[in-house]
Structure 1
Amino acid sequence: MRVLAALSGGVDSAVAAARACDAGHDVVGVHMALTRNRAATRSGSRGCCSIEDAADARWAAEILGIPFYVWDLSEEFEDRVVADFLSEYRAGRTPNPCVRCNERVKFDALLERGLAMGFDAVATGHYARLSGGAAAGRPGDLSELALSRAADRAKDQSYVLAVSGRTGLSRALFPLGDAPSKAAVRAEAQARGLPVADKPDSYDICFVADGDTRGFLQRSLGVQQGALVSPDGEALGSHEGYFGFTVGQRRGLGLTRPAPDGRPRYVIETRPATNEVVVGPEELLTRRAVDADGLVLLASPEPLDDDREGWADVSVQVRAHGRAVPADVVVDAQAGTLRAELHEGLRALAAGQSAVVYGGADGERVLAQATVR
């Protein structure tokens, strides 16, 4: 197959491209330039879009002996990821920009260009396992497609990939899905002579260079004075914008006095319409059900009682590195909605988060994804 390998400049994508070459594919490397700040360097960038990253990607491609290109996807990234991030916070939701980036740039935009140029599939350094589709040498074939957790659960990225959908995933290759650990991947890069073997991982939100998300939101959305209130509406303090708070947050609330019982308060809810942030005791954070829309099905629902469809005794994960919670899940494919009845309480669930359903014989297969309402 003709394979377009996304080279971020890190060790994972370099080894993934190398493995794609080993598999006999005709591989071309491409680095996606996502930042509009061409002066961004690693000393001022905690993400994956620095000038050094592009140079490291080119160096890796030279060692692998594959053609290499840099594609400017900064406009797509700004429109599909950064603008969405700000819009979601403005609406009082808590988005995951990595989920959006995987869906709208690293797959949609990259695959769109790749297919137009005659490529059969894209290969990335994500940690997840795929069967069927391009992974079985049948790009575009949906019949046996399945996305599952990576062999290394600590690095598993199936959560952020679920939103990509069956069509996109059928054209994807994840050569690191069976890697036993990140240490093993680094050792393989060292053995291959790749210069990025010891390069540190990127972290935090790549377009928030200093890691100060609240500051980024205030600079982008402006300061908006509002009130911190109790669940019954009592004014407890003030803030500079509801979008700077996340459900479950305890620190940095700026409260003027403690709770009567002396217990800490947490953010329970944000109210964009009134610019209020509701704070209260920890027990108000626990939810026993998850409602979500924008349903993405990666497996066929099973018949349940009362003519409903979904899955019994599966699990739901709402954070990239969070614990999956046992649940029964009902889906409405026509309405594009999902409801998970949790077998145990889930803490600090926020609108805008991605809910991913896992099941199958081993509990590792991704069944569906939707966005929490």
Structure 2
Amino acid sequence: MKKRVVVGLSGGVDSSVAAYLLKEQGYDVIGLFMKNWHDDSVTISDECPWLEDSNDAMLVAEKLGIPFQTVDLSEEYKERIVNYMFREYKMGRTPNPDVLCNREIKFDVFMKIALGLGADFVATGHYCRKGTFEKDGEEIYQLLAGKDPNKDQSYFLCQLSQEQLSKTLFPIGELLKPEVRKIASEQNLITAEKRDSQGLCFIGKVRLPEFLQQKLAPKDGAIVEVPASFSEYKLKTPTFSSEEEKLEYLSAKRKYSQTDGKQVGIHHGAHYFTKGQRKGLAVGGTKEPLFVIDTDVEENVIYTGQGKDHPGLYRRGLFVKNEEIHWIREDLKLTEDQTMEVMARIRYRQPLEKATLHCSVSGLYIIFDNPQSAITEGQFVAWYNGNELLGSGVIS
């Protein structure tokens, strides 16, 4: 019996080639397009509307001679992803819907539908790889970075479980993007030259303030510029009575008040902004561009600093609460007081940085060798050993 694979055909070149390769490898392949969004009023309409995508996915399936259907997951998407985004922004955090979308939609709701169709595996067009080996008589699955260093998407899958990985295939993980495009054009697939989709998982490019204004009303507040000479930045590192106290200090988020700087402008809602953001402040006349160094949604104030080297942007550590720690490699999970040297990143495409994990009773401290810019609450930190992603967590 041929093994059956359901491919999430998105209407892009990567999933098209994934489906082609699986068919070549002798799998019984079914193409499934996920429709996750209805509201075109907040998308920039000519960017990746779902109709065009589902049409392209259908034409690819036709070309490959595989069955195809569309599933409407917009209810689940709204409930699990869109509502989560509103909640996070309202609390002044910056969510990562793409990571959530993989955990909650593609590898949960979608996977259940696929298994219901008798699938042995689901496959996606992600640039990452899966490893497998045996340990103490048990099969262990690894999530490995994609071969193409410019396209590695392992970070977006940092919340997957052993169970999910066991049923997943990543057919293009060993390929470079130009090779994927070449295969698509050799096979005359309509998606061969199609631009990569931008913006939100499944939604396309969204005008974020307009998107958020559906639930979070605009409210004018002060933009305060904190000078690089602010006295708090000059304080000497104190002496610590315990290791935990030191970790807490290195991970602590600075607290600002309006008297720490001068007002330089007005914004229309602190919850529309995120740390490290430069665009959208609409404040001129500064020597260097202003960057958001913090937001206070309670007081509705945005704190900014001049230049990307402003000391307010940097810190060495972050903290992940116990309930938000996720190990893909559960067999490597740390216990209290254990440490582990890793490479870590706090956003997609960021080069991996040397860091140490410290497991405490309340959660996980991650201390980087070098200070990191714009560590942002609500985003995911992912940690690696070589090219294997071991685990991740929500920055608290």
In which range does the TM-score fall when normalised by the shorter chain? Answer: 0.7 to 0.9
Mapped pair 1:221 → 2:223: no
**Which whole-Å CA distance do the structure 2 matches of 1:20 and 1:207 have between them?**
23
Cα deviation for residue 99 of structure 1 reads 0.9
Counterpart-to-counterpart distance in 1, 2:5 and 2:270: 44
Return the alpha-carbon distance in structure 1 between the equivalents of residues 29 and 61 of structure 2.
10
- In structure 2, the partner of 1:296 is 326
Query: Cα offset for 1:4?
Result: 0.9
CA apart distance, 1:265: 3.9
Query: Any stretches of 5+ residues in structure 2 without a counterpart?
Result: 227-255
Question: For the Cα contact (< 8 Å) 1:331–1:339, is it kept in 2?
Answer: yes
Aligned mate of 2:149, from 135, 148, 153:
153
- Give me the whole-angstrom Cα distance separating, in 2, the residues matched to 1:358 and 1:367: 5
Letter of the aligned partner of 1:145 in structure 2? Y
CA distance in 2, matches of 1:15, 1:91: 40
> Alignment identity in percent?
34
Deviation at 1:321, TM superposition (A): 1.1
Decide whether aligned partners of structure 1 residues 267 and 145 sit closer, same or farther in structure 2, where only a CA change above 3 A counts.
same
Structure 1 gaps of 5+ residues are none
Q: Partners of 1:369 and 1:331 in 2: how far apart?
A: 13
SS at match of 1:168: helix
Say yes or no: does 1:283 pair with 2:314.
Answer: no
Match of 1:323 in 2: 351
For 2:94, the equivalent position in structure 1 comes to: 94
Alignment match of 1:203 (pick from 179, 198, 209):
198
Give the aligned residue type for 1:52: E
Mapping for residues 1-373 of structure 1, pairs under 5 Å: 1-37=3-39, 44-47=45-48, 49-132=49-132, 143-179=139-175, 181-205=176-200, 211-229=206-224, 230=226, 231-234=256-259, 236=263, 237-255=265-283, 264-280=289-305, 282-293=310-321, 294-299=324-329, 300-301=331-332, 308-312=337-341, 314-331=342-359, 337-359=363-385, 363-373=386-396
* Partner SS for 1:32: strand
1:94 CA drift (Å): 0.8
Q: How many residues are paired up?
A: 352
2:44–2:205 CA contact under 8 A, matched in 1? no
Structure 2 distance, partners of 1:210, 1:327, is 33
1:301–1:331 CA contact under 8 A, matched in 2: no
Q: Report the residue type matching 1:28 in the other structure.
A: I
CA distance in 2, matches of 1:364, 1:145: 14
Q: CA deviation at 1:221?
A: 1.2
* TM-aligned CA deviation for residue 31 of structure 1: 0.4
SS of equivalent to 2:358: strand
**Cα distance, 1:103–1:10 mapped onto 2, change above 3 Å:** same
1:254 CA displacement = 4.1
C-alpha spacing 1:192/1:251, structure 2 compared with 1 (3 Å): closer
Deviation, structure 1 residue 255: 4.5
Compute the displacement of 1:303 (Å).
Answer: 6.6
Taking structure 2 as the reference length, the TM-score comes to 0.82
Equivalent position amino acid for 2:45 in 1: G
Change (3 A) 1:36 1:265: closer
Q: Aligned partners of 1:45, 1:132: CA distance in 2, in Å?
A: 41
Seen in structure 2, the aligned counterparts of structure 1 residues 33 and 102 have a Cα distance that, compared at 3 Å, is same
CA apart distance, 1:33: 0.8
Work out whether residues 292 and 305 of structure 2, in 8 Å CA contact, stay in contact via their aligned partners in 1.
Answer: yes
| Cα distance between partner residues in 1 of 2:187 and 2:16 | 10
- Contact residue 208 and residue 216 of structure 1 kept, 8 A: no
What is the distance in 1 between the residues matched to 2:13 and 2:290? Answer: 42
Measure how far apart 1:315 and its partner are: 1.0
CA shift, 1:142, in A, is 6.8
Task: Give distance in 1, aligned partners of 2:204 and 2:32.
Answer: 23
Give the superposition deviation at 1:129. 0.6
